[in-house]
Each structure stands twice: as C-alpha cells, then as structure tokens.
Chain A
C-alpha cells in the first residue's frame, strides 16, 4: 500500500513541478508555452543519459537543470518578442523538433525504444519499500526547494514586473523595463524547474521513451495551472492534485467498464482530459483559487 501511495505522490510531485514551471512562464510572465512537453522530454533524456553514463545524482540533476535553462533561454531569445498565439506555435514547433530528434537519433536516444535501465539514485542506501520512501523524501525535498524558489520569485519585485508585463506590454515598456530580458529570465527559471522535473521523471521510472512526453503533458499542465488559478502557486498544488486524481481515477474506468480494452480506456481518459480542459475554460477560467494579489479580470472583450 505504501508503495502505491508513494508512487502516486511522486507522480503528483513531478506533475506539480511541470505545472509550477508553466505557472512561472505563463501564469506570471504570460508566455504561452505550448511546447512544454518538449523541454520536459529534453531534460529527462539528458538526466537519463547522464545517469546511464554513471554520473552520480547531483551531476545528473545539475545537467538536467542546465539543459532546461539553456534550451528555455534559447527559445525565449528567439521568440520572446512574439504575440501570444505566435509564441505558442513557436514553442510547439520547437517541441515537435525535439520529438523528431528523439525519435530519429537512435544512436543517442534509443529512438522509439527509448532508454531502459536507468540507474536509480541513492539505491546504495536502501532497497525495497524503504527505498520508495527514500526516493519520495528526496523528491519532496527537491520539490519544496523549487516551490520556495518560485514563491520567492513571485513575491519579489521581479515577479511584480512580470505581472505588469503580462497585463500590458506597451505600458510596461514605457516604464523602461527591458521587457525582453525579464521574459527570458522568467522562461529560463521555468526551464530550471523543468530540469528538476525531468530528472525525477527519468530516475523514478527507470525507463523513458518518446511516448511519455506527448502533447498531453501540455494539456495536464495547463489544466493544473488554470484550475489552480493562474499565477497562484498554492492554487497550483490543488490543480495538480486534482488533475492527478482525475487521471488516476480514470485508470479505474477500465475496471468499471470491463468491456473496454486497454487502448479504449486510454483514449477515454484523454477524451475526459480534453473535455475537462474545455469545461474548465468555460465555467471556471479563473480557477478555484484567486491570485494572491489583485484579482485579475477577464479583460476587455474586443
């Protein structure tokens, strides 16, 4: 039972971190990162390759974080100037390019077969059930650090500037703040958090392949951020938990409806996710929590 519980909790933590990254990038800075699954995939693979090459926990973790930051900075440098929908398309294009790379460069990434046998960190210290607990504690610590980091950024002057930029580019630019550099910083900060998430993902599951990083990651992340109330880090926890509950809950669909085969159950879950996202946008676009500062109105309907 403990094993199952910690498993769910670790998965929740990883998703919460991905949502946290999106919250920083989109919730705070207004950068619509549709391609978040591509960055997540990249950091995961880097962590996996590093662990497989024999490097210890810290090195792999740092490499993953650096990858996240570097890729995010690169993409932001190129696209930060773009309007929201163009930016979304650009990040999506990037993520697809990453996916193509992962599928084709089999010598490095194992192609469609992925990378199996990723060594688990700290396995020297424990095994079996207590290992699960150990890993969970490690994940919790890392997640807590990321959350503290994100909260600090949010509450700082940097965070205030980001929110001002998010509301109105033109006004913020006349204040003399370098719009571009703030956005790139925010995007990269999100990338760092994705690095941690990627490391945890590959070291927990021990095996990664491209199908784990599909566009549904984007859907979950947006759901969590929107449900939690864009911009609120605590709300986001709620969002991530509820999305996970929805997902895990729908896993039991197969038991409830035995006439469905595995493939159908899987697609049913994704249908529910899509429908859930739509319902959220129509009925609760502000989420279930308010942003901790001024309430953000939906804005002009033009």
Chain B
C-alpha cells in the first residue's frame, strides 16, 4: 500500500510540473493551452537530439532543451497568440489545437515515429524502508521539488512574480500600474517551457520517447488543473498529486490501460460538483 502511495506521489509530481505551467499560462493568457502536451514532447526531443545525436550528457541536454523550448514558445506566442490577443476563448482554444498539431508533427517529421530513448545507464532499484525506489523516481522527486520551490519563490517574492499574479488577476489594472503585459507574457512562456521540457526529459528517462508521449498527459494535466482550481498554481500541484495517487490506486481494480479513464472521471465529477476546483474561487460563468 505504501508502495502504491509512493509511486502515486512520484507520478503526481511528474504531472505537477507541466500542470503548473498550464495553470500559469491559463492565468496570464486567459485560455487553456491545449498545446501543452506537444510542448512536453518537443522538449523531450530537443534533449534527445543533444543527448544522442550530439552526445552531451543528459543533464546538459535537459538545460539546452529548456532554452530551446523557451525560444520556440516565444516564437509561437509572437506568431500565433499575439495576433489573437483579446480574441474570445474558443478562438484561442482552437488556435492552440492548431499549434499542437504543428509541434507534434514537426517532431514526427524530423525524428520519425519510432520509439527512442536517452543515452543513460539504467540503474537497479534501491530498497528503502521496504519500498522499491529506483533512480528515476528519486530524480523526479528532487527535480520536481526544486522546480516548485523555485517557481514559488519567483511568484511570491519577486516583482516579476507579483506582476504575473497581477496580470492574472486584472490585466487592465496591471497596465495602469505600469506593468508591461508583453514582458510578463514572455516570462510566463519561458517558465512554462522550462517546466514542460523538464517534465519531458523526466518522462523520457522512463525509456519511451515517441511523438505521442505528450498527448497521453493532456487529460491528466487538465484534470489536475481543473481539480486544483483554474489559475491557481498551488492547486495545480495539489490536483496533480491527487490524480497521481488515485491513478496508482485505480490500477488495483482497473487494467492499467484504463489509467487515463481516471482523469476523465475526475474531470466530469469536478465540473459537475465543484467547477472552481479545490482551491479556486467560484466565478460567474460567461
């Protein structure tokens, strides 16, 4: 039972990273970024390129992936989302699906559909207090924890973080208080890209890198953000952890192939019973 809990927490932490990214972009840009799954994939593949094709260590490759994905995200914002600034939700939604297709298929075009893997040695699992823990899990735990502390610090203790929260809260007022919306948006994309590429590398370390890897996370990501409350990054983390644990527990009764169904059920339940999620505030629907 404790093993299930452990596995659940770790997989939850993994989802928490892009969930925070999704939550931040939702708050500041005011639309759900469907392309987030493809950002994870893209980040993983940039790292793959540097790690396998160029030959740097995975650690360095991950750093380069963050930079590369940030550049791509900024480019996409400039080309796609900036011309659509102020458009209604659905337009932005559909645009982000378009972006999804482009990103995922650029990866497929350049790298093909075969399953690839990073150039890492697979260590044997450790035993700790009677539980089986492998290196990846420890890494995920440490990296995710670190990432979240950093994001928390940025959001709560720096002017830019305050600016991000201000723009999420009230964009017009933020304008009037001297905050440059475009700069804040750029920063959000950079942070989101760093989180997504890190998640992509961590997922890839499990051994499966293929163009569809990100799509499998779209549902759990949205479930996490909806469960936690849209626009609340802390809620996103909480939501992700809960989903991770519930998914693991579900494998006791459901075949593993139905893991994602858990997210589906959670989405439906939350939207029906408490649409603003655990930590969100009730909003008047449009």
Binding site for B on A (CB under 8 A): 26, 32, 34, 78-79, 82-86, 88-90, 92-94, 96-97, 100, 103-104, 169, 215-216, 218-219, 222, 226, 263-264, 266-268, 270-271, 273-278, 281-282, 285, 298-299, 301-302
Contacts and interface: CB of A to CB of B under 8 A. Distances in A.
A216 B106 CA distance: 15
A90 to B, nearest CB: 6
Contacts of A85: 31-32, 89-90, 93
30 contacts: A79-B268, A82-B285, A84-B90, A85-B89, A85-B90, A86-B271, A90-B271, A92-B222, A97-B261, A100-B257, A100-B258, A104-B255, A169-B286, A215-B97, A216-B101, A219-B97, A219-B98, A267-B108, A268-B109, A270-B104, A270-B105, A277-B94, A277-B97, A278-B80, A278-B95, A278-B98, A281-B84, A281-B94, A298-B87, A298-B88
B109 A264 contact: yes
Nearest to B267: A93
B97 to A, nearest CB: 6
A42 to B, nearest CB: 15
Contacts, number: 139
Contact of B108 (A86, A93, A226, A263): A263
Nearest to A96: B219
Nearest to B32: A85
Interface string B246-277: 00000000010110110110011001100100
B32 A263 contact: no
Contact of A274 (B93, B98, B112, B215): B98
Candidate in A96, A219, A276 with the most chain B CB atoms within 10 angstroms: A96
B207 interface: no
B178 interface: no
Contact of A94 (B109, B226, B255, B264): B264
B213 to A, nearest CB: 15
A93 B102 contact: no
A298 B218 CA distance: 29
Given A275-B102, A281-B98, A90 B285 contact: no
Given A100-B261, A270-B101, 13 more contacts: A26-B90, A83-B89, A85-B93, A86-B271, A97-B264, A104-B255, A271-B105, A277-B94, A277-B101, A281-B87, A282-B84, A285-B87, A299-B88
A271 B102 contact: yes
Contacts of A93: 219, 222-223, 263-264, 267-268
B264 A96 contact: yes
Interface of B: 31-32, 80, 83-84, 86-91, 93-95, 97-102, 104-106, 108-109, 112-113, 215, 218-219, 222-223, 226, 255, 257-258, 260-261, 263-264, 267-268, 271-272, 275, 285-286
Contacts of B112: 263-264
Nearest to A268: B109
Contacts of A92: 218-219, 222
B98 A275 contact: yes
A271 B268 contact: no
Contacts of B257: 100, 103-104
A79 B271 contact: yes
Contacts of A275: 98, 102
Contact of A281 (B91, B272, B286): B91
A263 B105 CA distance: 10
Contacts of B104: 270
Nearest to A276: B98
A263 B260 CA distance: 27
Contact of B101 (A32, A271, A285): A271
Given A86-B226, A93-B219, A222-B94, A274 B87 contact: no
Nearest to A285: B91
Nearest to A104: B257
Nearest to B103: A274
A267 B102 CA distance: 9
Contact of A82 (B83, B222, B271): B271
Contacts of A34: 93, 97
A32 B91 CA distance: 10
A281 B271 contact: no
Given A83-B285, A216-B101, A88 B87 contact: no
Contact of B95 (A218, A281, A298): A281
